[in-house]
């Protein structure tokens, strides 16, 4: 059956991952990262794919904060990156043993787990989107197999981690040169997670409106300059082609930041545009990323407003 897989986060990525692992015959437990409910539960969850087919599984779910012990296993972090410090502290408290795999996009999301001393830390660059459409259901669209690479630890464990998490419905692949993958996806997210929420539209906007594509191109151009300062060489044409491919394949899908804003939840913009701007300012010489930074700051303002309004209405 393989290792016990703990999926930390019961959201738009965690549920599809857990459902597909369960249906593949693997032992999986979902650890709710924000809940403080003590009791374990077995909950039926469903995932609807691009073809409209619904896949359903009964998942064991429990609050991470209420656990007293954990078996050795693989720890797949799918919760929001804003909770990584707390999650790393909880796993350290539980003396978690086994690889930590961070299934999040952005710059620097692995830092809390490295600082907590976990010896085997891996990162996954997600090429999939999910959107909750009910309390127990998710719409899920994989775009391509998501690469997993090693940040720290034994090189030989990479294939084991990929094998443990891979399934027909949610596919992964090994990637030795992960830094470029991280930045390539961070650049895409810097576009989708600002332009779409600010326009209040779905991901397909870039295949429908040339003005939106022009803004996206300006962001991509700034981010390429930052990546060049880190020794990475991206071609503008290739990234725009990738942007349009993602926009077409996720047409009608809402990006996670827009979903968060609509629900009054905290966004992950500090790990996207604002993290890129911080890296740009630290280069020698510094790289100007005015558009990228301002759009990120606007999302940050919107997030503060929606969180405040949600608190006032509760």
- Per residue in 195-228, pLDDT (tens digit) is 999 999 999 999 999 999 999 999 999 999 999 9
CATH code of residue 139: 3.40.50.720
Domain boundary among 176, 206, 231: 176
Could you tell me if 53 and 123 lie in one domain? yes
Q: Across residues 188-198, what is the average pLDDT?
A: 97
Residues 112, 191: one domain? Answer: no
Mean pLDDT for the stretch of residues 83-109 = 96
* Average pLDDT, rounded, for the chain: 93
269-309 residue pLDDT tens: 999 999 999 999 999 999 999 999 999 999 999 999 998 88
* pLDDT (0 to 100) of residue 135: 83
The pLDDT of residue 308: 86
Task: Tell me what pLDDT residue 63 has.
Answer: 92
What is the span of the domain harbouring residue 66? 4-176
Are residues 169 and 139 located together in one domain of the fold? yes
**Total count of domains within the chain:** 2
Q: How confident is the model at residue 120, as a pLDDT?
A: 97
Of 152, 176, 200, the residue that ends a domain is 176
| CATH number, position 268 | 1.10.1040.10
Together in a domain, 186 and 109: no
Q: The whole model's pTM is what?
A: 0.89
Q: Based on the domain organization, do 19 and 133 belong to the same domain?
A: yes
- End of a domain among 145, 176, 207? 176
- DSSP string across the chain: --SEEEEE--STTHHHHHHHHHHTT--EEEEESS----S-EEEEEEEE-TTS-EEEEEEEEEEGGG-----SEEEEE-S-GGGHHHHHHHHHHTT--S-EEEE--SSSTTHHHHHTT-S-EEEE---EEEEEEETTEEEEEE-SPEEEEEEES-TTHHHHHHHHH--SSS-EEE-S-HHHHHHHHHHHHHHHHHHHHHHT--TTHHHH-HHHHHHHHHHHHHHHHHHHHTT----HHHHHHHHHHHHHHTTTPPPHHHHHHHHTPPP-GGGTHHHHHHHHHHSSS----HHHHHHHHHHHHHHHHHHHHHHHH-
Q: What is the pLDDT of residue 1?
A: 66
Same domain? 240 vs 125: no
310 has pLDDT over 80: no
pLDDT tens sequence across 132-188: 888 889 999 888 899 999 999 988 899 999 999 999 999 999 998 899 999 999 999
**183 and 171 in a common domain:** no
- Rounded to an integer, the average pLDDT of 32-54 is 82
């Amino acid at each position: 059956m393989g290792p016990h897989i703990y999926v930390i986060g019961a959201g738009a990525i965690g549920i599809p991952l857990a459902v597909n692992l369960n249906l593949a015959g693997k032992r999986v437990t979902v650890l709710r990262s924000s809940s403080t409910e003590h009791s374990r539960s077995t909950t039926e969850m469903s995932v609807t794919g691009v073809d409209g087919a619904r896949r359903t599984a009964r998942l064991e779910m429990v609050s991470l904060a209420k656990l007293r012990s954990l078996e050795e296993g693989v720890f797949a972090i799918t919760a929001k990156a804003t909770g990584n410090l707390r999650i790393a502290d909880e796993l350290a408290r539980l003396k978690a043993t086994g690889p930590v795999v961070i299934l999040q996009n952005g710059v620097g999301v692995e830092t809390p787990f490295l600082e907590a001393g976990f010896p085997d830390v891996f990162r996954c660059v997600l090429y999939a989107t999910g959107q909750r459409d009910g309390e127990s259901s998710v719409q899920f669209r994989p775009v391509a197999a998501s690469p997993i690479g090693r940040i720290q630890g034994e090189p030989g464990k990479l294939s084991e981690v990929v094998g443990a998490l891979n399934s027909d419905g949610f596919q992964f692949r090994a990637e030795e040169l992960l830094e470029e993958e991280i930045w390539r996806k961070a650049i895409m997210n810097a576009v989708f997670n600002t332009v779409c929420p600010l326009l209040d539209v779905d991901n397909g906007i870039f295949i429908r409106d040339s003005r939106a594509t022009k803004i996206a191109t300006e962001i991509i151009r700034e981010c390429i300059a930052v990546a060049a300062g880190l020794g990475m060489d991206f071609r503008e044409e290739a990234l725009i082609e990738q942007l349009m491919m993602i926009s077409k394949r996720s047409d009608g899908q809402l990006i996670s930041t827009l979903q968060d804003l609509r629900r009054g939840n905290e966004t992950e913009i500090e790990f996207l545009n604002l993290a890129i701007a911080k890296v740009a300012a630290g280069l020698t010489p510094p790289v100007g990323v005015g558009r990228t930074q301002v759009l990120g700051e606007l999302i940050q303002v919107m997030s503060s407003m929606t969180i405040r309004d949600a608190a006032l209405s509760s």
